[in-house]
Amino acid sequence: MAPTAAVDDIRGMRRAIVLFVAVVILTSGGVACRSRQASSPASTLQPTPAPTVTPIPLRAPGWEEITVRTLCLEVEQSYPEIDGKSPEPIAQAAQEHLSELGMRVVTEGDSCDATLTLTMIGRALGDDYTGGYCYSGAEVEGQAVLTLAGRAPLTSPLAGRQGTPFSIQHCPKQPTGAPFEVAWREALLGGLFDLWGPQVLIHALQDERVLVRDLAAEALVEAGPEAAEAIPALIQALEDTDLDVRASAAQALREIGPQAIDAVPALIQALGDSSSHVRASALSALKVITEQDFGEDVAAWQAWWETAPPVTPMPSATTPSKPACTRNAVFQSDATIPDNTTIKAGQTFVKTWRIRNTGTCDWDPGYHLTFVEGDQMGGPDWVTIPETPAGENAEISVELVAPVEPGRHRGYWQICVGEGECFGDRVYVQIVSAE
């Protein structure tokens, strides 16, 4: 079964754990819990006025000297498995982001410096809930192609995913109701980041929509040290009204590492956040950035900061600093025990997942698959995973016992390293225990 994302169960994930177990309430075929929701209606693309900011140059390798001031925008979206699916407002959202970068999207037929073509293919994802089968997830894939006279086209892949969450607010019975906005906005931000760099996400962090801010913060986590210029925006995001944004901002600062030393006072303040997830993320960031550990003792952190302020490390002028590797894991398939396998109560079984190391860090013996939520089914708290180089697949097995209580049981697991720093897709085992 496809994985779910942490914190409102996004793809993604690109990310750290928030453990929400909600009470499921069946009303009109719906299940009352929390998940990300789409909010933007489709709308007609309108030409943008001349921007008030200076356009930024492209950041893609080999294109750094190119600055696009006027842009022709083409959006092609399709949902081949869904009849009657209305178009999503992808063009409008792209236009807004591009305008923030100083570019003007021209009307059809007008001349422009370059043409950006966005192609996305969408698919609805579903799962069984108390209210029945619900289309609670969606994914898109495609590509962004930038064409400029005299140069070969610049192509960037587009991919976004809202996995089927463990719990949901409502139960879309038709694929047209799947949460496509989460998927295509994630894909759009990722594609624009590949072309124009962190400024795309820095602007998105200030968007009035929580979903956009949340996705931008998560993308900055994935960007790692490359997002160093976003440090001021991430410090500000530590005070966001949404706890997921605050937590992801702290995680992004952790991935940036010692360069984020200016964020230490704000991270110390975040140790007093009302959310345990935000506090844990802030503490993890402080440990990585400062190489100190005072737990959640705010006074101890403050005293250390005031008496021994760290010095920002400067890379050598002759020897470039080696960027830190990034961590990510993507579910590939169930190697054993497909979803809803019937197993006799009390019987021992072995669940094996195939998970791909899509980061740049090799997985060594310090990495574990850790139980995070749901029914543990008599399994261990964690198991050591096989050593797995970046880009390779790992088959990870856990020995479990079918619960005595008959019915469906589900347990979630995630790869973690160090002191609870978890990342990538959460995977789950779902069985039907029978007497």
| Higher-scoring residue by pLDDT: 394, 314 | 394
Burial class (CB in 10 A: 0-12, 13-18, 19+), 183: buried
Question: Cα separation of 268 and 282, whole Å?
Answer: 7
In eight-state DSSP terms, residue 174 is S
Where do we find the tokens 């356009």? 55
Residue 10 pLDDT grade (very low, low, confident, very high; cuts 50, 70, 90)? very low
What pLDDT was estimated at residue 297? 93
Q: What is the mean pLDDT of residues 138-144?
A: 95
Q: What is the mean pLDDT of residues 44-55?
A: 60
Question: Cα separation of 198 and 256, whole Å?
Answer: 12
Q: Shortest CA distance to 383 belongs to which of 360, 410, 363, 408?
A: 363
Which amino acid is it at 406? Answer: P
Tell me the pLDDT tens digit for each residue of 379-415: 998 998 999 998 899 999 999 999 998 888 889 899 9
How many CA atoms lie less than 13 Å away from 83 in the CB half-sphere?
A: 0
Residue 83 — left, alpha, or beta (φ > 0 → left; ψ -120 to 50 → alpha)?
beta
What pLDDT was estimated at residue 28? 33
**5-14, 342-351, 364-373: least confidently modelled range:** 5-14
User: Does the structure show a pLDDT above 70 at 3?
Assistant: no
What pLDDT was estimated at residue 426? 85
User: Does the structure show a pLDDT above 90 at 94?
Assistant: yes
What pLDDT was estimated at residue 47? 54
Contact 370, 382 (CB under 8 A): yes
- How far apart, in Å, are the Cα atoms of 200 and each of 11, 62, 82, 219, 261? 20, 19, 31, 10, 23
Residue 109 — left, alpha, or beta (φ > 0 → left; ψ -120 to 50 → alpha)?
left
* Domains annotated on the chain, with CATH: 11-197 (no CATH), 228-324 (1.25.10.10), 329-434 (2.60.40.10)
What pLDDT was estimated at residue 49? 56
3-state class (DSSP) for residue 414: strand
Residue 366 pLDDT grade (very low, low, confident, very high; cuts 50, 70, 90)? confident
Tell me the pLDDT tens digit for each residue of 254-297: 999 999 999 999 999 999 999 998 999 999 999 999 989 999 99
